[in-house]
């Protein structure tokens, strides 16, 4: 017996709008959708890194946690300002604990390697390279979230931007840890 599978396409976005969490439709290129679209890319970029690590390892478990937390970030960004009262702390609303809890992880991971003293040229190790890509995407999502805050999509006291800022720092430290050593980015002195 064959069941009719639900359709992936709905055609509702053909007019250039997208549906929001808790209802409403806005332009796909509006500040909220732009920001949560970048967050979605960050989740995928972290997924690439996770695909390269041993299942069940410390890094695998940590990246899964970070991906899940990014869904909380995305949910907050996917909510229209008039529906913010419907958000639930830690589920659809970024909390102070989510931000603060990243800091000891950064400190612990940073203690595992000799910090670079110059810019690092990514690509010394596949996992580190994937993490560096994820870090860059997290930074892009942070910038888009700054725009969303400036445009009033999220309030000034939202913790989305601090969370993404701290997350980018953490992903940077994870990349350096996975590299074990790093290649400095040196520009040839005889370049003209």
pLDDT in tens, 39-74: 999 999 999 999 999 999 999 999 999 999 999 999
Q: Are 52 and 130 in contact (CB under 8 A)?
A: yes
Per-residue pLDDT reduced to its tens digit, 76-133 = 999 999 999 999 999 999 999 999 999 999 999 999 998 888 888 888 899 999 999 9
Integer CA distances (angstroms), 108 to 50, 123, 160, 177, in order: 20, 23, 23, 10
d(CA 34, CA 78): 10
Query: 3-class SS at 18?
Result: strand
Domains and CATH numbers, the chain: 28-179 (1.20.1200.10)
Distance in angstroms (rounded) separating the CA atoms of residues 166 and 103: 7
* Residue 110 CB contacts under 8 Å (≥ 6 apart), including other chains: 173, 176
Task: Give the residue among 132, 106, 109 at the shortest CA–CA distance from 45.
Answer: 132
Q: What is the pTM of this model?
A: 0.91
């Amino acid at each position: 017996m064959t069941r009719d599978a639900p359709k992936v396409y709905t055609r509702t976005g053909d007019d250039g709008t997208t549906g929001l969490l808790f209802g409403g439709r806005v332009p796909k290129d509006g500040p909220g959708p732009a920001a949560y679209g970048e967050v979605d890319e960050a989740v995928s970029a972290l997924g690439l890194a996770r695909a390269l690590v041993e299942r069940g390892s410390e890094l695998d478990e940590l990246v899964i946690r970070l991906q899940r937390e990014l869904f909380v970030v995305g949910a907050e960004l996917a909510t229209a300002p008039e529906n913010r009262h419907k958000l639930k702390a830690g589920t659809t609303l970024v909390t102070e604990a989510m931000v603060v809890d990243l800091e000891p992880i950064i400190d612990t991971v940073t203690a595992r390697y000799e910090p670079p003293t110059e810019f690092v040229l990514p690509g010394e190790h596949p996992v580190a390279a994937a993490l560096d890509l994820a870090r860059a995407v997290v930074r892009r999502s942070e910038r888009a979230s700054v725009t969303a805050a400036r445009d009033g999509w999220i309030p000034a006291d939202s913790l989305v931007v601090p969370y993404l800022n701290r997350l980018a720092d953490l992903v940077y430290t994870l990349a350096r840890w996975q590299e074990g050593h790093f290649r400095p980015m040196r520009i040839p002195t005889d370049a003209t």
